Amino acid sequence: MSLTPPFELGLSNAWLLILPFLIVNYGISFVVVKRQSSLFAWPEYTAQERRVLSWSMACLLLNAVYSVFVPLKTGAWLAAGLIVYAVGMLFLLGGIYHFASTPVDQPNTGGLYRFSRNPMYLSFFLIFLGAGLAGASWPMLLLALVVFWLQGRYLVPPEERMCLEKFGEVYQTYMQKTPRWIGLPR
């Protein structure tokens, strides 16, 4: 990883890792998951939360576009990146599967949701982190960290408020037993 990131258009660039994420997250999930699923439910955001949502989406888009210009490295960078990326894609697929199989009137508390209240946000982070590592790109890594922080700080709380309103005590108990992020204490 160098201080000056490479910036070149190529067929073997980090976009090869971002494209499957885009197809799964914004394509397959809309086909597989029922429209009435809570995956498509949006909480009521405050004005600040809406701004942060916009910034978070803009950073994800910027990272996806930037990936077109980041050549994949070989060796340890690529290996580490692919491992992190694969874990992220597994989390994403597991999260989508669970949304597809959970009745609308029940909270998502099984599968990966037994270990983390937000495995899909975690998957986004791991996917972009893995792509950044595979390209040894500090701008991609930095954007992944910024998005993860924004989402965890400003977007997860309104979703949890919505779930508390919808599912009440069941979700409160779930929150008390399950950490927000895998491996971190409640």
In this predicted structure, what is the pLDDT of residue 168? Answer: 94
Rounded to an integer, the average pLDDT of 146-165 is: 92
**Tokens 């960078």, residue?**
77
pTM above 0.85, yes or no: yes
CB 135 within 8 Å of CB 2: no
Which of 111, 115, 92, 91 has its CA nearest to residue 101? 111
pLDDT 10s digits, 60-110: 899 999 999 999 999 999 999 999 999 999 999 998 888 778 887 888 888
Task: Return d(Cα 47, Cα 120) in angstroms, integer.
Answer: 24
* Distance in angstroms (rounded) separating the CA atoms of residues 82 and 134: 6
In this prediction, residues 51-60 reach a mean pLDDT of: 90
pLDDT in the model for residue 3? 61
Q: Of all helices (H) and strands (E), which one includes residue 91?
A: helix 76-101
CATH class label, 45-177:
mainly alpha
- Burial classification of residue 76, based on how many CB atoms lie within 10 Å of its CB (0-12 exposed, 13-18 middle, 19 or more buried): exposed
pLDDT score, position 140: 94
pLDDT in tens, 13-50: 999 999 999 888 877 766 666 555 555 567 888 898 88
3-state secondary structure of 61: helix
In the chain, where the domains are located: 45-177
